[in-house]
Amino acid sequence: MAIYAISDLHLSMCAEKPMEIFGEVWHDHARRIAANWDAIVKPEDKVIVAGDHSWALRFPEARPDLEWIAARPGTKLLIRGNHDYWWRREATNRIQRSIHESIRLVNGHAVMVDGVGITGTRGWRVESTEEGEDPGDDRVLNRELANLRRGLDEIPLGVTRKIVALHYPPFDEGLAPNAFAAIIEEYGVDTVVYGHIHAGSYLEGVVRGVDYRLVAVDHVGFRPVLISG
């Protein structure tokens, strides 16, 4: 059994959303992801999908995209992304009951996989304005920080590895760690996978004992990345 990660699928099976407007690298991206995924991942494997699954605005419109994800091998562990408007936080349990059993919606809770603890939440990226003001929503920030703590608290002692999945990276545009990184270090997390970044600065590798992986599809060649196993 192996654990893989990928992010930012940006599917749109219900309505045309040509991703090529973001660059030729996105041409026919859904077919390419499916081909790579199906060739790499085995049915017993787990795949963390770190947000921005679908462009749909409502859950019924997202169904074809979720069916596409369900058709891929492995158990899929999904967290919310900033474009996942179809996945309202308060509707998580209802959505979970109505989708394929191979998809698990992870929202501030932990999943145990062969001694490995996995948790995740969307996160929140607060950027500075030119005037130096903070445009972030403290309410959302505090909720997402609480989600991360709750998920990490659910991971039992003695696990062989802790993996956190975030959509937003746990650092700012200048690559300075933020409050999410502080919690990650406090809990002794081994690996963080994140998405959202398609251009500009990003952070990868081991920093202060934590292995950071950017797994946005256009960064990883439109294929799931092996994280463990």
Query: Is 50 exceeded by the pLDDT of residue 57?
Result: yes
DSSP state of 178: -
- The rounded mean pLDDT for the chain is 91
Q: How confident is the model at residue 138 (pLDDT cuts 50, 70, 90)?
A: confident
Q: Which of 227, 218, 216, 150 lies closest to 187, judged by CA?
A: 150
Q: How confident is the model at residue 139 (pLDDT cuts 50, 70, 90)?
A: confident
- pLDDT single digits (tens) 169-227: 999 888 889 999 999 999 999 999 999 999 888 999 999 999 999 999 999 999 999 99
Are the CB atoms for 148 and 164 separated by under 8 Å?
yes
Query: Is 90 exceeded by the pLDDT of residue 64?
Result: yes
Q: Which of 74, 109, 75, 76 lies closest to 92, judged by CA?
A: 109
Pairing of strands 3-6, 46-50: parallel
Confidence (pLDDT) at 20: 56
Confidence (pLDDT) at 129: 44
- pLDDT single digits (tens) 109-133: 999 999 999 999 999 976 544 444 4
Confidence (pLDDT) at 126: 66
What whole-number distance in Å separates Cα of residue 67 and Cα of residue 71?
6
Torsion sign (Cα): 117, 82, 194, 63: positive
Confidence (pLDDT) at 181: 96
* Domains defined for the chain, CATH in brackets: 3-228 (3.60.21.10)
The predicted model gives 90-102 an average pLDDT of: 95
SS3 71: coil
Confidence (pLDDT) at 131: 45
Confidence (pLDDT) at 209: 95
Query: Is 90 exceeded by the pLDDT of residue 229?
Result: no
Query: Is 80 exceeded by the pLDDT of residue 21?
Result: no
Q: What phi, psi does 117 have (nearest 5°)?
A: -95, 130
Query: Is 90 exceeded by the pLDDT of residue 19?
Result: no
